[in-house]
Structure 1
Amino acid sequence: MDDDALLALATRLATEAAAAINAVRAAGFAVARKADHSPVTEADRIAEALIVEGLRAAAPHIPVIAEEEIEAGTAPTGPGPRFWLVDPLDGTREFAAGRDNFTVNVGLVAQGRPVLGAVALPATGEVFWGRAGAGAFKRDAAGTRAISVRRIPDEGLTVMGSHHYQDDPRMTRFLEGRHVARIVNIGSAEKFCRVAEGSADLYPRFGRTMEWDTAAPQAVLEAAGGTIRLLHGGGALGYGKPGWANPAFVCEGRA
């Protein structure tokens, strides 16, 4: 399969997983706790199984690193130069609390960089996808269209922030001297997508994230013309790191 076919696969599986999550939500569900005390639900497990099985069936030569398999200790080690990163339900806390800001993330990494990805928003029916050099796209009730980051409007920056860190003093310090119109605090990779589609301009992330949280939305953002850099030092956010944890970073649209 070439990269176009792999992107179509990721987009289809993310969309199918979003439908499965919505079905679990409609039926009702229990919330359990993992070893790190973060929440997990039946929706996480069903969505991950659907995505992982689909990826391995269609592209068996590409290893899959998925959040719940990592937790269970069953994910492959030393995945090689190309591998999938899957977060079947990014924003489980939002999902469990009845909020709508959660996503399905399916991204492909090559040589330490995300090269394509799909992000589905089950609650809104939106799906975003993108590939390096081929642009980024969004599908919703209005149809499918290309998306791109925007120039900062005259009224100032729309800044995306984490729902669970909305009183973080680091945000105040980071925004000092910037012309800010509004700050929007929500959960999940949706924040990347709002910058990618040009409805927001900046997303600084100070707290911990994992590689499966960011690979797919980073691919979408960069395909839409945005950038992501490390908060300290300004280098690239790399993938395949020991332990899979990310340092702090900043997502930006067009300067």
Structure 2
Amino acid sequence: MNQTDLLEEILQLSVEAGDAIMGIYAKDFNVEYKEDESPVTDADLAAHKVIAAGLQQLTPDIPVLSEESAGIDWTTRQTWNQYWLVDPIDGTKEFIKKNGEFTVNIALIKAGKPILGVVHAPALNVSYLAAEAVGAFKQCDEARIELKVTQKANTGLIKVVGSRSHPSPDLAAYLEQFDDVEMVPKGSSLKLCLVAEGEADIYPRLGPTSEWDTGAGHAVAEIAGATITQVDGSALTYNQKESYLNPYFIVSRLEA
């Protein structure tokens, strides 16, 4: 299957998972907590089931790593050249608060790099989708626009997107390099997408994230033309180590 067709299939699958989420979002739902004290809801599990079944049918030969099925041994994972990286609900805290800023994240990772990704925000009725051979897009209802990042001078007012639920003490020190800063709070992987569409200039993530939090948004932002690097300028990669935790990273459309 070519990337154009595959991207449309993954978008449809993310919408189906979003529909399952919204059926639970509208009602009271159960919240439990994992060992790391992160919340998980009935909706996370329902979306996971939809996505896992859909990917198995669509690409039975490509393994799937989901936040809700993350117990896959490193000796197995390090043999993967290509795999699906899934977060059934990114921004579970936003889901619980019912502020709408949560997403379904599905990314295709090849040789440590996201080459296709969909970020679907079901409560906001917006999707971001990208593939290397196709481009990056934002879709609202039936309207789809292509996303192409234009670089911005590293001067004047800088719009900085940051976490709504995870403020970082390291962020204030990092922002001292800019003369004038406007903070744009946002939940989930929508932060990466805001840089991709030019609504924010930079997203410094100086706090913990896991690979499934960022894979799909990484694909959207990078294919749109943003730069995504670790703080030292090296590439942000996936499935290159035993831990699922990302290093700190910077998503930017500012001139170097």
Any conservation in 2 of the 1:228–1:236 contact (CA below 8 Å)? yes
- For the residue of structure 1 that corresponds to 2:40, the secondary structure is strand
Q: In the TM superposition, what is the alpha-carbon distance from 1:172 to its structure 2 partner?
A: 1.3
Q: Which residue of 1 aligns with 2:166?
A: 165
Looking at structure 2, the residues matched to 75 and 99 of structure 1 have their Cα atoms a distance apart, in angstroms, of 35
Unaligned 5+ segments in structure 1 are none
Q: Which residue of 2 aligns with 1:34?
A: 34
Any conservation in 2 of the 1:228–1:237 contact (CA below 8 Å)? yes
Unaligned 5+ segments in structure 2 are none
Any conservation in 2 of the 1:65–1:75 contact (CA below 8 Å)? no
Q: Which residue of 2 aligns with 1:54?
A: 54
Please list, as runs of the form range in 1=range in 2, the aligned pairs for 1:213-228 lying within 5 A after superposition.
213-228=213-228
Q: Which deviations, in whole Å up to 9, do the C-alpha atoms of 1:153-197 show, x marking residues without a partner?
A: 77521101112333x331111111314341012221010011111
Q: Which residue of 2 aligns with 1:237?
A: 236
Any conservation in 2 of the 1:149–1:254 contact (CA below 8 Å)? no
Q: Which residue of 2 aligns with 1:124?
A: 124
With 200-209 and 145-154 compared, the bigger mean Cα shift is at 145-154
What is the one-letter code of the residue matched to 1:44?
D
Looking at structure 2, the residues matched to 159 and 142 of structure 1 have their Cα atoms a distance apart, in angstroms, of 29
RMSD: 1.8
Q: Which residue of 2 aligns with 1:251?
A: 251
Q: Which deviations, in whole Å up to 9, do the C-alpha atoms of 1:222-254 show, x marking residues without a partner?
A: 1111110001x2100111121221100000125
Q: In the TM superposition, what is the alpha-carbon distance from 1:122 to its structure 2 partner?
A: 1.4
Q: Percent identity?
A: 40
TM-score with structure 2 length normalisation?
0.92
Q: In the TM superposition, what is the alpha-carbon distance from 1:2 to its structure 2 partner?
A: 2.4
Q: Which runs of 4+ in 1 moved over 4 A?
A: none
Summarize the Cα distance change of 1:62–1:45 in structure 2 as closer, same or farther, 3 Å threshold.
same
- For the residue of structure 2 that corresponds to 1:47, the secondary structure is helix
Looking at structure 2, the residues matched to 234 and 98 of structure 1 have their Cα atoms a distance apart, in angstroms, of 36
Any conservation in 1 of the 2:93–2:165 contact (CA below 8 Å)? no
Looking at structure 1, the residues matched to 254 and 174 of structure 2 have their Cα atoms a distance apart, in angstroms, of 18
- For the residue of structure 1 that corresponds to 2:217, the secondary structure is helix
Looking at structure 2, the residues matched to 27 and 164 of structure 1 have their Cα atoms a distance apart, in angstroms, of 23
Please list, as runs of the form range in 1=range in 2, the aligned pairs for 1:47-196 lying within 5 A after superposition.
47-70=47-70, 73=71, 77-78=76-77, 80-141=80-141, 143-152=143-152, 156-166=157-167, 168-196=168-196
Work out the number of aligned pairs and report it.
251
Q: In the TM superposition, what is the alpha-carbon distance from 1:142 to its structure 2 partner?
A: 6.6
Q: Which residue of 2 aligns with 1:20?
A: 20
Q: In the TM superposition, what is the alpha-carbon distance from 1:75 to its structure 2 partner?
A: 8.0
Looking at structure 1, the residues matched to 30 and 81 of structure 2 have their Cα atoms a distance apart, in angstroms, of 38
Summarize the Cα distance change of 1:105–1:69 in structure 2 as closer, same or farther, 3 Å threshold.
same
- For the residue of structure 2 that corresponds to 1:188, the secondary structure is coil
Looking at structure 2, the residues matched to 198 and 239 of structure 1 have their Cα atoms a distance apart, in angstroms, of 25
Any conservation in 1 of the 2:90–2:213 contact (CA below 8 Å)? yes
Q: Which residue of 1 aligns with 2:210?
A: 210
Q: Which deviations, in whole Å up to 9, do the C-alpha atoms of 1:106-163 show, x marking residues without a partner?
A: 0000011000100001111000001124311011147111112233377521101112
Summarize the Cα distance change of 1:127–1:75 in structure 2 as closer, same or farther, 3 Å threshold.
farther
